Chain A
Amino acid sequence: MPPATSPIVARLKGVAKSYSGRSVLKGFDFALEAGSVTALLGPNGAGKSTVAGLITGRLAADAGAVTLFDRDPRDADARARMGVMLQAAGLPEALTVAEAVALHAGYFKRRLKTKDVLEQAGLTALAKRRCDKLSGGEQRRVHFALAIAGCPDFLVLDEPTTGFDPEARRAMWRLVREKADAGVAVLLATHHMDEADALADRIVVIADGEIIADGPPAAIKAKVAGSTIRIRTALSPAHLQMLPGAAKVDQRGADTAILTTNARATLEALFSADPALTDFEVASASLEDALADIIANTVKEAA
């Protein structure tokens, strides 16, 4: 009888990890679910790569429990269900794309046909090209092909689209989305907020070894309750700061951005203070704004 499939793919429970005396994680709890894309965000050194390292079995926890498919992540049976795309990764230079994919797929008992992997990763035309004759973006697609070759239930993607042009990025996002929709759990580490916003179902923000925000992108953005008003005005930043609802004023040359908790009230006050004002744009706060705000607030509270 096949084991009942748990929707929890990976779990960290009360995990502690420190490097040469410096504590990175302490009593850390986290769970990853099947069929969704989870992005880990946060400043460098906050613990993102430690969390990813623990789940993939590259690192061992000092205390607490880490499980992948209810097993130790270093267990070969757990690894057999995981596909990894590392940030810094070379390829076997002298092998062709098809040879490299076939070799890697061969490590897995349950695997896709090489032809299908190449097709899914958009590499069919490059099958016979040697790996050392590929562009950066093409190499990255081969890394993705290696990651999916073993029919993984869990995909770990570390900066998957670095060096991509916008079209190639969207193509990669579609590939990842297809996998997630097919039930694969995806853990995404990225520095690109737009990538996390476009791709993730769930965003986990880590700072100083703690989860300070966890939810869908829309909910994270809503945390900075508000919107950004972009204007060109002669009013001074000090004046703008006094407007009702204004939380933050950011002036760059002639352009001013006002982060506001009440766009309507701020705009009404703006119009009466600056009758010359005609050009304005209101947008909901970006994920980047939200993240900066959340992290700044956490640091303030801690201080």
Chain B
Amino acid sequence: MSALVSAAPGVYGREAGAEVIKSARMPQFIIPTIILPPAFYALFALGMGNGDVEMATHTLATFGVFAVMGPALFGFGANVAGERENGQLELKRLSPMPAGAHIVAKLVATIVFSVIAFAIIYGLAIFAGVDLSPSQWAILTSVHVIAVFPFALIGLGFGYRLGQKGAIAIANIVFLAMAVMGGLWMPVAVLPEVIQTIAWALPSYHLGELALMAAGQSDAANFWLHAGPLALITLAAAIFAWTGQGRHAA
């Protein structure tokens, strides 16, 4: 096709590798995104659950979604905002780098760090006596990996629109609000009715419910009741991210 543009697969691989290395070397990224969710799981679900395996299984499903939110929201929101603000993104755009390589690389890195975070939670859950069949583990893992996409798109939408400081602030608010109101820390049913209604608009709520189904904690007959809204929310997030491209923070 073109004589001077580098062979694409190599570029994607190197870009993804660089993203993983960059994040791995930043404690301000690793601690809140990888250490915190398993620590919360150990403390609240296991420590306070007093050996209640039923509760440990329930919270395994929802904390797995929680563990994915950090790398996705911060990796995309804050990092893209920073790279756009200081011209790194512009320099890549002016190079012959394939247009999608930067986003694909960030997605790969986000999935890598999400998997590390929820794999630690899986380990803690098994240690606490949680017993799922191999197919249940496989489906649960799929739900948790899929969870990367809506949160990454939301983060990207903010990253394209806000400066780095603004994006970090918004990522923190979205992170906590989605976790609490989406019922990831405690079931939505125990929250006020207003929040139960808001939860329907949150990807965290639907992903939590789907993860509960995967772990045999909820009736799988309701699959479309949550997969449908999740698909719509993800589409809206994709439009939010797409329309933010090329914008400049004030």
Question: Footprint of B on A, CB under 8 Å?
Answer: 56-58, 76-77, 79-82, 84, 86, 88-95, 99, 102-104, 106-111, 130, 146, 150
How far apart are A154's CB and chain B's nearest CB, in angstroms?
11
Interface size on B, residues (CB 8 A): 29
Decide if A107 touches B4 in the complex (CB within 8 Å).
no
Cα of A94 to Cα of B20 in the assembled complex, Å? 11
Decide if A106 touches B14 in the complex (CB within 8 Å).
yes
Cα of A130 to Cα of B24 in the assembled complex, Å? 14
- Among B2, B85, B88, B96, the most chain A Cβ lie within 10 Å of the Cβ of B96
Cα of A90 to Cα of B89 in the assembled complex, Å? 9
Decide if A92 touches B4 in the complex (CB within 8 Å).
no
Cα of A228 to Cα of B10 in the assembled complex, Å? 59
Decide if B22 touches A92 in the complex (CB within 8 Å).
yes
A–B Cβ pairs within 8 angstroms, 5 of them: A86-B87, A88-B87, A89-B88, A92-B88, A104-B91
Instruction: Convert B86-101 into 0s and 1s, putting 1 for each residue whose CB lies closer than 8 angstroms to a CB of A.
Output: 1110111011110000
A-B pair number, CB within 8 angstroms: 90
Residues of chain B from 1 to 32 with CB closer than 8 A to chain A in the complex: 2-7, 10-11, 14-15, 18, 21-23, 25-26
In the complex formed, the residue of B with least CB distance to A102 is B14
- Lowest 3 CB-CB distances: which A-B pairs, in order? A90-B86, A80-B4, A94-B25
In the complex formed, the residue of A with least CB distance to B83 is A90
In the complex formed, the residue of B with least CB distance to A149 is B95
In the complex formed, the residue of B with least CB distance to A57 is B94
Cα of A111 to Cα of B6 in the assembled complex, Å? 9
Does B203 lie at the interface of the complex (its beta carbon under 8 Å from any beta carbon of A)? no
Cα of A76 to Cα of B95 in the assembled complex, Å? 8
- Given the interface pairs A58-B94, A95-B21, the reply to whether A89 lies near B87 with Cβ below 8 Å is yes
Residues in chain A near residue B37, CB distance under 8 A: none
Residues in chain B near residue A90, CB distance under 8 A: 82-83, 85-88
Decide if B94 touches A82 in the complex (CB within 8 Å).
yes
- Excluding A94-B21, A94-B25, 6 further A-B contacts by CB distance (< 8 Å) are A56-B94, A77-B96, A88-B87, A102-B14, A107-B96, A111-B6
How far apart are A167's CB and chain B's nearest CB, in angstroms?
26
Decide if B5 touches A77 in the complex (CB within 8 Å).
yes
Cα of A88 to Cα of B82 in the assembled complex, Å? 12
Residues in chain B near residue A150, CB distance under 8 A: 95-96
Decide if B4 touches A86 in the complex (CB within 8 Å).
no
Decide if A94 touches B22 in the complex (CB within 8 Å).
yes
How far apart are B94's CB and chain A's nearest CB, in angstroms?
5
Decide if B94 touches A84 in the complex (CB within 8 Å).
yes
Decide if B94 touches A79 in the complex (CB within 8 Å).
yes
Q: Give which listed residue, B7, B18, B85, contacts A99 with CB less than 8 A.
A: B18
Residues in chain A near residue B11, CB distance under 8 A: 106-107
Decide if B10 touches A106 in the complex (CB within 8 Å).
yes
Residues in chain A near residue B2, CB distance under 8 A: 76-77, 80
Cα of A91 to Cα of B95 in the assembled complex, Å? 15
- Given the interface pairs A90-B82, A93-B22, A94-B22, the reply to whether A80 lies near B5 with Cβ below 8 Å is yes
Cα of A89 to Cα of B5 in the assembled complex, Å? 23
Residues in chain A near residue B21, CB distance under 8 A: 94-95, 99
Decide if A89 touches B3 in the complex (CB within 8 Å).
no
Cα of A80 to Cα of B94 in the assembled complex, Å? 9
In the complex formed, the residue of B with least CB distance to A100 is B18
Decide if A91 touches B4 in the complex (CB within 8 Å).
no
Residues in chain A near residue B87, CB distance under 8 A: 86, 88-90
Residues of chain B from 39 to 93 with CB closer than 8 A to chain A in the complex: 82-83, 85-88, 90-92
How far apart are B185's CB and chain A's nearest CB, in angstroms?
31
How far apart are B98's CB and chain A's nearest CB, in angstroms?
8
Q: Give which listed residue, A84, A86, A103, A109, contacts B18 with CB less than 8 A.
A: A103
How far apart are B168's CB and chain A's nearest CB, in angstroms?
15
Decide if A80 touches B96 in the complex (CB within 8 Å).
yes
Q: Give which listed residue, B4, B86, B90, contacts A58 with CB less than 8 A.
A: B90
In the complex formed, the residue of B with least CB distance to A56 is B94
Cα of A130 to Cα of B22 in the assembled complex, Å? 11
Residues in chain B near residue A94, CB distance under 8 A: 21-23, 25-26
Residues in chain B near residue A89, CB distance under 8 A: 86-88, 90-91
Q: Give which listed residue, B5, B14, B92, B94, contacts A109 with CB less than 8 A.
A: B5
How far apart are A66's CB and chain B's nearest CB, in angstroms?
15
How far apart are B242's CB and chain A's nearest CB, in angstroms?
19
Decide if A95 touches B18 in the complex (CB within 8 Å).
yes
Decide if B97 touches A107 in the complex (CB within 8 Å).
yes
Cα of A135 to Cα of B87 in the assembled complex, Å? 18
Residues in chain A near residue B23, CB distance under 8 A: 94
Cα of A108 to Cα of B23 in the assembled complex, Å? 24
Residues of chain B from 155 to 177 with CB closer than 8 A to chain A in the complex: none
Q: Give which listed residue, A84, A93, A107, A130, contacts B6 with CB less than 8 A.
A: A107
Decide if B88 touches A109 in the complex (CB within 8 Å).
no
Residues in chain A near residue B26, CB distance under 8 A: 93-94
